[in-house]
A and B are shown apart, each in its own frame.
Chain A
Amino acid sequence: TVGAVALDCSGNVACATSTGGIRNKMVGRVGDSPVIGSGGYADNLSGAASCTGHGESILRVTLARLILFHMEQGKGTAEAVNVSLTYMGERVRGGGGAIAVSRTGDWAARFTTERMAWAALEEERLTYGLNPGE
């Protein structure tokens, strides 16, 4: 799965997510990626999020919308992603990751799996990582 979130100079946010699914999956199985609120969500009033990981778990907690809900409630972007991933892990034992950007440009990339490749670019500054803590 791959995904992107962005905030442009006009203050508009957007998200996109795309996937090939899981190897050997049941024919016709659709995971979280194309489902609004699960694989991605974007609202100028709060921000944008794109998710990856165990699709059925992400669907059960509508992870992208959950992240934005926490941002709407006043949490910082990193905290909103962390709280949402923790909730998913505790309630449905699912692992995954997410990227998010708020309407003010505060961004986060977090995951509970072994690894997730991510990169962020703001004001010509490129940040990236692969392993936990990077």
Chain B
Amino acid sequence: MSAVIVVHGGAWAIPDDLAQASVAGVKAAARRGFLAMKTGASALEAVELAVRTMEDDPVFDAGHGAVLNADGEVELDAIIMDGRTLAAGAVSCVRNIPNPVSLARAVMEKTDHVMLTDRGANRFAQSIGIQEVSPESLVTEQERREWEKNRKYSSGVKDLFNSQWGHD
């Protein structure tokens, strides 16, 4: 049977200035996963490698390059699933893990559970020695600027609606 890998970098209104880098990123991820399978890796290992490649690429909203929530914090989610056994592992709301997909795989392989969240996921990551980084290192300067702009815009809209000049 021939190996196949397909990857995506997110469905949204990708602006022109991110278009070329996004396509380059998904091509690199597909190549990395496929090469791994050619040298004996399983489909599970291939999808983890491919997703790690994109988590490490700041052009994508995952791992490095993550967007910020309303409080200006990073909150990352990931899942991985093995079609052989229906085993699955997932994490949500982790803040300082550069490759959440690998933490999700650890949840699948090293616990009896399917999902760990927030501080429990981080505590588990520490207990098994998963790499941790400062959350700031996952955020690009461009995302900081976008978040600041978005935040000001939101407060501007609220001001309009709360004032006598409010309109839709």
Which A residues lie at the B interface, using CB under 8 A? 1-31, 33-36, 39-44, 47-48, 50, 52-53, 95-101, 105, 107-109, 111-123, 126, 128-130
> B115 interface residue, CB < 8 Å from A?
yes
By the criterion CB–CB under 8 Å, are A116 and B10 in contact?
yes
Report if A4-B14 is in contact (Cβ < 8 Å); known contacts: A18-B54, A23-B68, A126-B27: no
Q: What are 30 A-B pairs at a CB distance below 8 A?
A: A2-B54, A2-B62, A3-B51, A4-B47, A6-B33, A8-B1, A11-B1, A12-B82, A14-B81, A18-B62, A20-B67, A21-B67, A22-B67, A24-B69, A24-B150, A27-B69, A33-B79, A34-B90, A34-B91, A36-B81, A42-B82, A43-B86, A99-B6, A117-B19, A119-B29, A120-B7, A122-B3, A122-B5, A123-B2, A128-B30
Q: A16-B50, A25-B67, A33-B79 are in contact. List 10 more A-B contacts (CB 8 A).
A: A2-B7, A6-B50, A7-B5, A16-B81, A19-B10, A21-B66, A26-B70, A30-B92, A40-B80, A117-B10
How many residues does chain B have at the interface if contact means C-beta atoms less than 8 Å apart?
78
Contact of B22 among A14, A114, A130 (CB under 8 A): A130
Contact of A122 among B2, B22, B47, B66 (CB under 8 A): B2
Across-interface contacts of B26 in A (CB, < 8 A): 117-119, 128
CB < 8 Å A-B pair total:
303
Across-interface contacts of B146 in A (CB, < 8 A): 23
In the complex, how many angstroms separate the beta carbon of A78 from the nearest chain B beta carbon? 12
Dominant SS at the A interface? strand
By the criterion CB–CB under 8 Å, are B8 and A118 in contact?
yes
Which B residues lie at the A interface, using CB under 8 A? 1-14, 19, 22-23, 25-27, 29-31, 33-34, 37, 41-44, 46-48, 50-51, 54-55, 60-63, 65-71, 73-84, 86, 88, 90-93, 100-101, 104, 114-115, 117, 143, 146-147, 150-151, 154
In the complex, how many angstroms separate the beta carbon of A49 from the nearest chain B beta carbon? 10
By the criterion CB–CB under 8 Å, are B73 and A21 in contact?
no
In the complex, how many angstroms separate the beta carbon of A120 from the nearest chain B beta carbon? 4
The 3 closest A-B pairs by CB, nearest first: A20-B66, A97-B11, A13-B83
Instruction: Give A35 to B78 CA distance when docked, in angstroms.
Output: 8
Dominant SS at the B interface? mixed
Report if A21-B75 is in contact (Cβ < 8 Å); known contacts: A2-B10, A14-B81, A116-B8: yes
Instruction: Give A52 to B154 CA distance when docked, in angstroms.
Output: 25
Report if A44-B11 is in contact (Cβ < 8 Å); known contacts: A23-B67, A36-B88, A101-B4: no
By the criterion CB–CB under 8 Å, are A35 and B79 in contact?
yes
Across-interface contacts of A3 in B (CB, < 8 A): 7-8, 51
